[in-house]
Amino acid sequence: MGFGLLFAVSGATFLYHDYCIIGAGPAGLQAAYFFQQAGRDYIVFERSHAPGSFFALYPRHRKLISINKQYTGKSNSEFNLRHDWNSLLSHDRRLLFRHYSRDFFPSADTMVRYLEDFASLLKLQVQYNTAIIHVTLEKNEQAWNGHYFLLTDQDRKNYKCSSLLVAAGMWVPNVVNFPGSEYVEGYETVSINPEDFAGQTVLILGRGNSAFETAENILGVTNFIHMVSRSRVRLSWATHYVGDLRAINNGLLDTYQLKSLDGLLEGDLEDLAIVKDKKGKLHITLRFYLENGNISAGIDSITLPQDELDNFATRAPYDRVIRCLGWKFDFSIYNRSLGLMPGKGNIKKYPQIKPSYESRGTQGLFILGTASHSVDFRKSAGGFIHGFRYTTRAVHRLLENRHHGVPWPSTVYPITQLTNSIIKRVNEASGLYQMFSVLADIILLRENATAFEYLEEYPVGVLAELEMQTGRKARNGLFVIIMEYGRNFSGADKDVFYYNRAVGEAQHAWQSNFLHPVIYYYKHLPTERGMKLRPPDWPLPRPDAIHHIVEDFLTDWTAPNAHILPLRRFLENCLSTDLRNFFAESCFLFAFTRQKLPPFCQQGYLRMQGLVGSQELRHHAVQAGLLQDYTHKDFLGDRPPDSHDGSQEQLRDHAIPVRPLQHLVNAKDEL
């Protein structure tokens, strides 16, 4: 941890670390924690004097939109993280965000204090007041990736590392240049005192949370507010994307639709132009009106839209125009040798990366945190703390396997625990829940399906590379457990409150709309070609079999008939085996009447494993119809023990051996 070695290259001295992390925001600190726990040589460079410098300024009005739910009715810490969108992952229970604030939407100042404590209490290796101003490559066959990363800070000090993780966030404001844009105030500098806007008419450029947050702050003091953007408003409850407009900021929608002067407009900002009159008022016109006019000659010489269309929507002049267009990644410090390029289309503000969060242009360069959101933009939570805390852990696990020979963590269970393992994870796991359709649990089957290996929260986008990326083998088939919304449920134009929107019957589980578990079964690991040819909007290629666990209003998938029984039968069909649990009497009978015993009897009964029974338990089982009372019937009775109706089968599914161990020993001896 922070070992540091000095190297001289072409006369310059470089301080070496295996891993360099740029940025001590939430993602940088999260990565540092995992490297620290693994005992790796790393350093974090932070340009400010403290971690989380972004939150020291943003959001400007200081209220976060990441929820901090204090009570869930459960004590399971993993489950509770599903509703804690601010905590980073660590072993220290003191570093749960609920110990810092009780507010459902906490203050950004609290986040700054939290990040400071996270770095100091865990003794993370952060070098403050260090702004990295240039990054380039040095080819070297001895290096991990065939090259080293060379970094230079503002004081011309040099650093060298084998792997570079960029967690610098998105902090460069998006600016649209058009005639008159010099009159526009930026979100990053505009006043946050509502009294400064009293009696004014305001135009806001943008339609994200920063735009609506700004409007919310001045809503009660302005004459009216207009908001213009090229796209229609996207409501997070309709898109199920937490980066879209949240209810806490949408007061302007009320005043717009309830006829209180405010309004929303759609238009391309690059087509606008702003002209300032002698009184300092700002008039909105269109760029093409200026082509034949002389803007320097004053407003009287310029044709305005209302001159031709007297009811033009923005004909009233504005006192202020505010730009709230979000941020983009800073590409300026990276040398062209790194091949770090912007994305295309609606992800052009992000760097191009693979689903493994590694740069497409340079091996060993990883993008973490908000800047990695191109992998799941407008789909999942990878651009936010409650999402990228898990993707950062996934990147660390990939690096542990690649450079240190530490395979992806896994647990091996007997096949009899397959149903229970899946049910436990879909009901508790926070990573699956937050990073739906992006991170998945992988179940690797052992030969003859006698056991399985369970891997948690693997990036599904690189499923075809699973063996190489994890150090685990997938030779006998696999299950992929993932969370999904219904295919056609989410969207800016969707009515998510329509009547009969919920699905409750297990047989219609595939039509579930709300977030629910989906299990994919593959006889063989999907190939790269299969991943590329997967159906649109599918996170994975077509499987050999697929099972949807029906959505649940309580997100509690433990109902014996609706959730567990259909899942178990699906698994049995895939594996051609019997995954039920049996009483000792049934296993004893199967030993004499069947050529092959169910796995539960093979791995439990025949190995003298089971729960020590008692007369009270046996009497209860007989009364409940789970066991036949052999004291009043012949051994085989009128009906064999393995014959039962549907309701008895459902109850027996979850039964466990309750006969005394002495009975088990005697039965084994007889066999």
Reported as a single tens digit per residue, the pLDDT across 509-567 is 999 999 999 999 999 999 999 999 998 889 999 999 999 999 999 999 999 999 999 99
Kind and range of the H or E run holding 222: none
Q: Is it the case that residue 629 has pLDDT exceeding 90? A: no
User: What CA–CA distance (Å, rounded) separates 368 from 385?
Assistant: 11
Q: Which two tokens stand for residue 297?
A: 């000659």
Kind and range of the H or E run holding 355: none
Q: Which two tokens stand for residue 198?
A: 């009293």
pLDDT confidence of 494, banded at 50, 70, 90? confident
| Section 325-330 average pLDDT | 95
Lowest mean pLDDT among 400-409, 568-577, 621-630: 621-630
Max avg pLDDT among 135-139, 305-309, 608-612: 135-139
Kind and range of the H or E run holding 59: none
Any idea which residue has 């058009």 for tokens?
178
Handedness of CA 34, 37, 38, 40 (dihedral sign): positive
pLDDT confidence of 618, banded at 50, 70, 90? confident
pLDDT in tens, 555-585: 999 999 999 999 999 999 999 999 998 888 8
**Per-residue pLDDT, 487:** 86
**Per-residue pLDDT, 13:** 85
pLDDT in tens, 232-251: 999 999 999 999 999 999 99
Percent of residues, the chain, with pLDDT higher than 90: 74
Provide the 8-state DSSP code for 349: T
pLDDT confidence of 2, banded at 50, 70, 90? low
Q: Is it the case that residue 262 has pLDDT exceeding 90? A: yes
| Section 445-470 average pLDDT | 96
For residue 44, the cross-strand partners are 21, 126
Q: Is it the case that residue 647 has pLDDT exceeding 50? A: no
pLDDT in tens, 148-185: 999 999 999 999 999 999 999 999 999 999 989 999 99
Count CA within 13 A, CB hemisphere, residue 466.
30
User: What CA–CA distance (Å, rounded) separates 397 from 561?
Assistant: 37
Kind and range of the H or E run holding 103: none
Provide the 8-state DSSP code for 184: P
Provide the 8-state DSSP code for 107: B
Q: Is it the case that residue 37 has pLDDT exceeding 50? A: yes
Q: Is it the case that residue 223 has pLDDT exceeding 60? A: yes
**Could you give the angle at the alpha carbon of 307 between the alpha carbons of 305 and 313, nearest 5°?**
45
User: What CA–CA distance (Å, rounded) separates 189 from 186?
Assistant: 6
User: What CA–CA distance (Å, rounded) separates 219 from 242?
Assistant: 23
Nearest residue to 68 (alpha-carbon basis) of 79, 83, 80: 83
Nearest residue to 149 (alpha-carbon basis) of 14, 351, 10: 14
Who has greater pLDDT, 172 or 315?
172
Termini Cα distance of the chain = 58
Cα-based distances in Å from 408 to 25, 234, 340: 26, 38, 28
pLDDT in tens, 365-376: 999 999 999 999
Q: Is it the case that residue 503 has pLDDT exceeding 80? A: yes
Strand-strand pairing, 158-166 and 12-22: parallel
Cα-based distances in Å from 23 to 26, 54, 193, 541, 600: 9, 10, 30, 36, 51
**Per-residue pLDDT, 611:** 61
Q: Is it the case that residue 319 has pLDDT exceeding 80? A: yes
pLDDT in tens, 87-131: 999 999 999 999 999 999 999 999 999 999 999 999 999 999 999
Q: Is it the case that residue 666 has pLDDT exceeding 80? A: no
Q: Which two tokens stand for residue 391?
A: 């993707």
3-state secondary structure of 75: coil
**Per-residue pLDDT, 612:** 62
3-state secondary structure of 148: strand
pLDDT in tens, 267-299: 999 888 899 988 999 999 888 777 666 555 566
pLDDT confidence of 644, banded at 50, 70, 90? very low
User: What CA–CA distance (Å, rounded) separates 278 from 283?
Assistant: 11
Cα-based distances in Å from 82 to 281, 353, 430, 432, 558: 49, 27, 5, 9, 17
Amino acid making up residue 119: A
Percent helix, percent strand, percent coil in the chain, to nearest 5:
35, 20, 45
User: What CA–CA distance (Å, rounded) separates 51 from 54?
Assistant: 9
> Is the CB of residue 653 less than 8 Å from the CB of residue 581?
yes
pLDDT confidence of 650, banded at 50, 70, 90? very low
Nearest residue to 451 (alpha-carbon basis) of 563, 609, 575: 575
Nearest residue to 390 (alpha-carbon basis) of 75, 51, 28, 30: 30
Percent of residues, the chain, with pLDDT higher than 70: 89
| Section 134-147 average pLDDT | 94
Torsion of CA 359, 362, 363, 365, to 10 degrees: -60
How deeply is 239 buried, as exposed, middle or buried, from its count of CB atoms within 10 A (0-12, 13-18, 19+)?
buried
**Per-residue pLDDT, 582:** 86
User: What CA–CA distance (Å, rounded) separates 14 from 116?
Assistant: 28
User: What CA–CA distance (Å, rounded) separates 9 from 617?
Assistant: 76
Q: Is it the case that residue 313 has pLDDT exceeding 90? A: no
User: What CA–CA distance (Å, rounded) separates 221 from 242?
Assistant: 29
> Is the CB of residue 405 less than 8 Å from the CB of residue 471?
yes
Q: Which two tokens stand for residue 4?
A: 């540091």
**Per-residue pLDDT, 636:** 42
CA 394 to chain centre: 11
Lowest mean pLDDT among 365-374, 424-433, 502-511: 502-511
User: What CA–CA distance (Å, rounded) separates 665 from 668?
Assistant: 5
Long-range contacts of 1-9 (CB under 8 A, 24+ apart): 1/35, 1/36, 1/39, 1/40, 1/41, 1/42, 1/125, 2/41, 2/42, 2/43, 2/125, 3/41, 4/41, 4/43, 7/160, 9/138, 9/150, 9/158, 9/160
